[in-house]
């Protein structure tokens, strides 16, 4: 049903292959548009977004350790470190 397609990255202008498996994945998720950037440019774009994210330091409401979170904590809701948060999700 799906066949590999060669697309051109709008960022760097290089050709890249949009594989049949990737096309199937996009269809399963309901994505309407084909990718516009090659994997290298997509990864670079994601990394740039992550690096620019401001992190806030707070204290874990469960264990009291320092926790860094990507949002401004407020006093009306508890904030947990990644270890405590993961443990709570498993319960």
Q: Are residues 44 and 72 in the same domain?
A: no
pLDDT per residue as tens, the chain (91 positions): 899 999 999 999 999 999 999 999 999 999 999 999 999 999 999 888 777 778 899 999 999 999 999 899 988 999 999 999 999 888 7
For tokens 């990507």, name the residue.
70
**With b meaning 16 or more CB within 10 Å and e meaning fewer, what string describes 28-64?**
eeeeeeebebbeebeeeeeeeeeeeeeeeebebebee
Question: Are 12 and 26 in the same domain?
Answer: yes
Note whether 11 and 35 are same-domain residues. yes
**pLDDT number for residue 91:** 72
Our count of domains for the chain comes to 2
pTM over 0.85: no
Do 14 and 39 sit in the same domain of this protein? Answer: yes
**Do 47 and 11 belong to one domain?**
yes
CA 64 centroid distance within chain: 28
Q: Which domain holds residue 78?
A: 56-90
Shared domain for 22 and 60, answered yes or no, is no
């Amino acid at each position: 049903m799906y066949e590999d397609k060669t697309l051109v990255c709008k960022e760097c202008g290089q050709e890249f292959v949009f594989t049949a498996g990737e096309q199937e994945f996009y269809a399963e998720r309901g994505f309407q548009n084909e990718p516009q950037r090659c994997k290298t440019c997509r990864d670079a774009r994601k990394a740039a977004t992550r690096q620019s994210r401001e992190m806030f330091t707070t204290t874990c409401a469960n264990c009291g350790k320092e926790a860094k979170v990507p949002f401004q904590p407020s006093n009306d809701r508890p904030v947990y470190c990644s270890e405590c948060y993961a443990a709570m999700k498993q319960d």
